[in-house]
Structure 1
Amino acid sequence: MLWNGRKGWKGRWLWVLALVAVALCPLIAAQKIGDPYKILGIHRRATLFEIRKAYRQLAKEWHPDKNEDPNAESRFVEIKQAYELLSDTERRQAYDLYGITNEDEHMYKQRHDYSQYARFSNDPFEEFFGTHFRTQDQDITLFHKLSVTTRHFENNIIEKSVHTPAIVLFYTDWCFECVRSAAAWRRLVDALQPLGVTLATVHAGHEASLARRVGVHGVPCLTLVLDKHVYIYKEALASLPKILEFIRWRFPYKLVRSINNGNVEGFVSDFEDNKVKALIFEERQTIRLRYLIAAFHYRDRVAFGFVDMTARDAQNVTARYKVQRQTDTMVLLKEDSEEPAATVSTTEIPTQTLHQLIEANQMLTLPRLSSQSVLERVCPVEWRAARRRLCCVLVSAAAGARGSLHELRRLAAQPARAERLHYAYVYAHAQEQFVQALAQGAGGDASQMEHRIVIIWRREATRIQYEWLNETWPVCAHTHCSEEYPTDPAHREEIIKYQERLNETKRALEQLIKRLLKPTEVLAYEAHVQELVDEAGRSALGAAAARLCEWAERSLHALRSHHALSAVSVLATVALVLAAGYLMAYLIRVEEESVQRQKDERKRQNGLKKNNNEPQPEMRLHELRAEKYNGLVRLLKPGCRTIVLLVDMQSRVQLLSKFHKIVWPYRKNKTLLFAYLMVERNIEWFRRVLQLSLGGGELLVNARNCVGTVLALNPHRKHFCIYHAKHPECAKPHKRMSRMTRSLGGGCEDPEAGAFIGFHTEPDESSADEAPDPPVLLQENLLDGLENWLDRLFEGSTHRYYVNYWPDMTTK
């Protein structure tokens, strides 16, 4: 019993642990999301549109109700989590930077959501000043009611601006200009909201990153979001007509074509653009903004034209469609029909009525599969066999297909089975990949598929099932082929044969459609197809050329309209600036030429002599004396050196002139200073420097023998280098270091060979008998070797004499 009790107790705990494990398994699995980019099959720089597109395709493919794979449910959840992560801008950025997924909420701080900011609270102005200080014109509660966050701005307003324009106002709470603009904003909301424009506000303080990214430099700031572009309105909000004109000017140029008696026929009969035609009739020169917004919303499917009923060259158009005066009228036209598909006429057509009418008639009777959006509209995806939707597509050539399309259009106009069956055609040369995929799936050649009909069932976005009609759709090049009883005797027999063949093909097509509409029927072929090519798309070069032409046309249009004054003002200002710049350049050039002529004239008069009045580059030679001793030696900056020449009154002029010429190439070196020392007055300082560098022994220095000596002082490093014509380092450079001593100059054969600094040379025993007498050294030859010595000095190969300190220089 005890064992059974323990067994029951343990069993109950095991059951509890099992239930807990089962409950935690989804959480543990949810935290291991993996790489969301690999899950959706997209690159890391994918846009939000690409992310949504990949998610829709994968969700349809891995939906548990459609996919029988046992892992379909977990795969679907993984795809959904990856989409939720990448569609959120903040979470995507956190993942890209730190690898954080949306399940790791404990690793980052959740930002406050300001989308509901102050929607049900009082105005901050009222909290401080009370309601009696607030008037209707200064009520900014509408700002808070329409406020949105960065996420809503990017995911909704930007994405929807492809079809729906948006007006977004940036504001802050404690902004008095915003308070003054509250009434203007309210009027703008009342004027544009009924027209289908999205109006929103953004708190620039709470969404500072969005304000910087948009380019908002101050509040209040009004922006227009149109076709994923943000345009900033830079004027005051008080003038509503200026704001409406700013909005109108930003719409695509020639979005609505101007129609008159001359071009109406070409407009209503050309359906090669695969668009329904809409004519707007008004008794005014410019189209209303409400119709312009509707034209922008449906520009992919409907081509709009505007008819000014007050113009003389539009009277025939008005009479043709029996339009009444003093009312706004919209006429929708489809192909091969003189009668309008729909007509509405009222004082101002409401936006809702416009949308309802266009939505019901936005596709042609027989549309062409010219883009993926048209395919989605004509052949929607339906995976359930009981509610399958079929699409009857004629593969046609661009030339000679009008007769065949006319007959197929008659079938498409029949209301029977309109919900589950749609007709269309496709150009084989424009959609080569699509037609080739259908041909290869059936084991045929794409070149042999022209004038063939294929029945398509789109079970998924990229996977279709289809079946070809065995009979080829007949083609007739005569204009009377559509007549039931042909009157042309020359081609009567040919037309009758065409009619018989057409009837047989129609019956075969009808039987095939009836069979394929049954839920139990299976279509013969299956293929994976890619997205259709957008036939209306432009290349980069074409888009640039179109923008250039649009800019030129807008400029010409502005010159002919009320914008002419501002345009002419801008052009006049630019022309004035260019003219002033050219005039200044011309005057400067004339002045330079005049000065050059004067110089040439003076040179010609003076010959090759230089003008003494012209400034010449200088190099200063300082006298090293007690007053300048600190600046030239003791307080010199690190890295700087002073080159000093020792002269007396007799040799001063001659030696300084030659010294100046030798050191002239080094005048631009900012680390060098050049000076001279009068040895009669400063012989004691020179003797003391030599004494400190040679160990402190007593020296007998002759001032006359020191003339022509050059010292290179490095005050910061406390060493110097010395030059003299009879110095051993200068006389025999290849043996100079071995022949230097620190003894006094006693016993030297030449009493001037260094006795003034305590150096002497030991005679070479091997060549003592052969050594000639030293030559007599003249004053003009004292600096002959200075140029080579300076080269060795800057190379660092001269001998350095170190001192513990720089001695004082007394004033005499």
Structure 2
Amino acid sequence: MLVFKESIDRPADIIQAKGMKKQVIDEFILNNRFLLVPRLVNQKVFDELCPVKQLHRRRKYCVLLITGDEESYTIGNQAFISFAYTNTQEVVRFSYAYQRLHQPLCDTLLKTKNSTQPPQVFILEHRNAAGKFLYKEVAGGWNGTDKNKQRLLDELQRLQKDPSILNQDTMLPELNNEFASMFLIRWIYTAYDYLTEIIDDIIHNNWREMMPLLSLIFSALFILFGTVVVQAFSDSSEDGKSKPKTKDGAKAENGSPASVKRFKRRPPKKNFVEVTELTDITYTSNLVKLRPGHMNVVLVLTDASKNVLLSKFAKEVYSFTGNLTPHFSFLNVDKHSAWMETLLEFTQDAMQIDTDEDDGARHKIDYAGYILALNGHKKYLCLFRPVYTGEEGPGGATGGGRRSGSREDHPPRRSVPRSRSTATLQIHHKLDHLGLWMERLMEGTRHRYYIPAWPGLEKITAPK
């Protein structure tokens, strides 16, 4: 296999093997994808010909000829190509650019502005990806004479011994892409030629000769419009079939005994749970303007129970962090009790038992351990109340779920001092079975309390 470049008399590269594999052929073609002296047509070609300097690797240089595409420059351009053939080096690549097509690049190197200069040769080294180059201008310009060739050869030999001769640096602008509009222009010209040919055939030829072409055109139009009509009818029938499913989905959302959508839990992507505090600063983004389909699961805590409840909360909800819809926050009820009480006014049926008992006992409700699942877009919440209260019921069993009865049903017990570890254990157990509750929440089977509007920002602003 032989590869010819500028010279048609001498191959630029040869490969010979018995039963060459495709991988060998592809690599051979890839190594010879450029001419010996290619023309710079865009930035991608420039970066491949003159790559960025790599550490611990040999320096690579680019010899650039800035010239023109007029006929008067032909002799000098051919002389530059012949010089490259006779002085091929592994670390030096030769290329040229037309000053008319890449004026910003040429103005930077020639230190002129919008003026046509005689051909000039530069030796470049690409220093970084931002476009910084070290360069040296070869004195005397370039006319293709023997004197020009000897001067360039001397500079290349000096460069091998002392790279510091590239004593100037600059930031080169990105090259213009000469092929940016080429495809569109070619397509327009091809369409114009084709239409012109058809019109000439219609005007100058008889209709009998044009019948095959007209038949082909009308057949294509018939197939095109027929496909559109069939597609439109199929879309309308699919919409009609999907309406009953939509109604069933609406019934399931309102709590009717429709089929429940199974929740598919995705594995967590992180090894931690991101829990943010719900304050007046994050109130709008985390709740009021939460994206449709997303939900903020808020843990209610106090200053005393903050560390214990947050640790337990993170363990219970960690397996749900792989899904993108739930977000996790916590609310300090010591700071935002007004907002909490305003919100729970819409859940009176769920809070009735606790309210009755707390009024009889004349003490404030302990909201620590409550979970509020808030859907900011549809304006509803789901409520989780602690399943463990830290009190003992009849027979010494620990109380769980809802408390029943009044203070008169049981004789008053002597208060027993509790150690700090016992109180911590009781707080820790407030979030038992939260994982199961989250499963039902994600399936959409938890009862929803709809509210007309979220409490105002002033309700959650902490008092100063």
Interval of TM-score (by shorter of Structure 1 and Structure 2): 0.3 to 0.5
Which protein, 1 or 2, shows the higher relative CO under an 8 Å CA cutoff with sep ≥ 6?
A: 2
Larger radius of gyration: 1
TM-score by length of 2: 0.39
